[in-house]
Amino acid sequence: MANSPIIIFVYNRPEHTKRVIDSLLTNLESSDSDLIIYADYAKNDSHITKVNEVRSYIKSITGFKSIQIVERDKNFGLSKSILSGVTDVLKRFESVIVLEDDIVVSPFFLEYMNAGLKKYKDVVKVASIHGYNYPINTKGLKESFFIKGADCWGWGTWKRVWDQFETDGSKLLSELEKNDLIKEFDYEGHFKFSEMLKKQIEGKNDSWAVRWYASMFLLNKVTLYPKDSLIQNIGLDSSGTHCNDEGYLSPPFSNQRVSYFPEKILNDSIARKRLSEYFKSLNQQKISYALRLLSLMKYFPRKFFRLMTKYRSIKMEDNFYGNFSKWEDAVKQCSGYASEGILEKVKNSLLKVKNGEAVYERDSVLFDEIHYSLPLLVSLLYVSSENNGKLNLLDFGGSLGSTFFQNRKFLNGLSFCKWSIVEQPHFVRCGIEHFQNEKLAFFNTIKEAVKENRPNVILFSSTIQYLENPQSILEQVSELNFDYIIFDRTPLIYGNVEERIMIQRVPEEIYKAEIPIRFMNYRTLLSFVNKSYELFSEFDADDEIFPANLNIKNKSIIFKKALNASN
């Protein structure tokens, strides 16, 4: 049996792609292996340059038995690329080895993969050969072993198995529930693969891998794992759709060859238990930030959360005036936030933060240390802990990414991070030009962001009070079925006054502007949101000074989608 062909799926990371190819060429088997590269098309204009760099590089590759390049003329996305690419190749070959542009391999990866694919090619119970092993406790384990299911980091399979792959997530979930297999599927509840599958069904992610795992799990098939990982995922370095995992998931690979392949095709109960224990410890690490902060917040005085800005000495209560019955009446007297001068000042300040020339920016003002909104940070880490260390967030009115940059040190500890900002058109244009990257993206509307990135949490950080029609926005949010709604730095009236529309003067030390502001009653906000959501938690936010006669409190609030809410 000849060596299995190697498929690599590439997109817009030329340096990563080169490292993957270089690592493959350290394998002696590369010169006798066919290489098939699927190059996806740009998702948007900001990716075109990097996509073209990748396409130029892959045309220069040598060192393999043959090289075939498939350049897509439209964006497929990773899931569709893999499903269609593997299917196409297995129409011509009986087996295949699959890599992505962030999987570097050891010098013995191809030897191991081909040996496994040859040895078990006719063994019906074996689903795949996997080159990665999680950093579990491997004491007492054999050089390779089987675990029930399938996996997705440096793997190989056969046509006979791929033809059995059920890609309908609804069918898979139904079978798991009907046969009472959710707990086992989720590694005793320590990694919520079933929640990932539900989100795929709802269109909130497009994971092919969770369906691959579920499909093979339900067929009671097993996958071969090496005791010591033969690959490393370098996409966890913040360059791709994942953020830095600080070694939690992908430590360096082993340079030792695998010489033992089990004869008995059995789910290794010890290895599976070790993996379950690892998932449990991983979740504990991911939520530790949130739990520690949550417990500490009970004891800190409110002044700890106070933002000590450069303009603190100003009598802020004097910066609010008027009592307008209509929003448009207030607008007529304001210069507003649409000023290009304001945008330019915010852009210049935030570019300094992005480039490491300053530490933190808020409202265009630079600071020499970060002033965290701890209630917001706790909320973000809690939500990510409920989603297996992943955060996919829509930041409504998020400027050019101030909150993202403020919290990026903590966000880098997550296994996945996608931050979508919805803003005014001139901010969106500026954001795309100067700040957009694989994690941070800018959109004109909520629906555009949802269609592109499928966020499951929406953040209103000091924004709802500046909307002309907050009820319309909140109704739209409710219809889109976000799992969580977070309000941060939101001033609410506690008392009999239902609403007050005023004008807020921005201190000239920041930028000269007057902005309409709506102080909403706490009960009104609850009535908008409680139709589909339940109040999960609320905190006092940063101390800010508002008109004294209205009993206004600045709040951070988390709403969680109610269990009985319709999808």
CB neighbour list of residue 335: distance below 8 Å, 6 or more residues apart: 512, 513, 514
Cβ neighbours of 247 (radius 10 Å): 10
| Cα–Cα distance, 407 to 374 (Å, whole number) | 10
Is the separation of the CB atoms in 348 and 151 below 8 Å? no
DSSP alpha helix (H) spans, 337-424: 340-354, 374-385, 402-411
| CATH superfamily for domain 320-561 | Vaccinia Virus protein VP39 (3.40.50.150)
Beta strands in 423-483 (DSSP E): 440-443, 457-461
pLDDT of residue 346: 63
DSSP classification of residue 364:
T
Domain boundaries, given as residue ranges, for the chain: 6-289, 320-561
Specify the fold of 6-289.
Spore Coat Polysaccharide Biosynthesis Protein SpsA; Chain A (3.90.550)
Q: Is the dihedral of CA 346, 351, 357, 362 positive or negative?
A: positive
| Cα–Cα distance, 521 to 489 (Å, whole number) | 14
The pLDDT averaged over each successive group of 10 residues in the chain (567 residues) is 95 95 97 98 90 98 98 95 98 98 96 98 98 93 98 97 98 98 94 92 90 98 97 67 40 86 97 93 55 41 35 53 90 64 62 60 51 82 88 93 87 88 90 90 94 94 90 89 94 90 77 82 87 85 76 91 66
In single-letter form, the type of residue at position 370 comes to I
Is the separation of the CB atoms in 151 and 191 below 8 Å? no
| Cα–Cα distance, 533 to 485 (Å, whole number) | 8
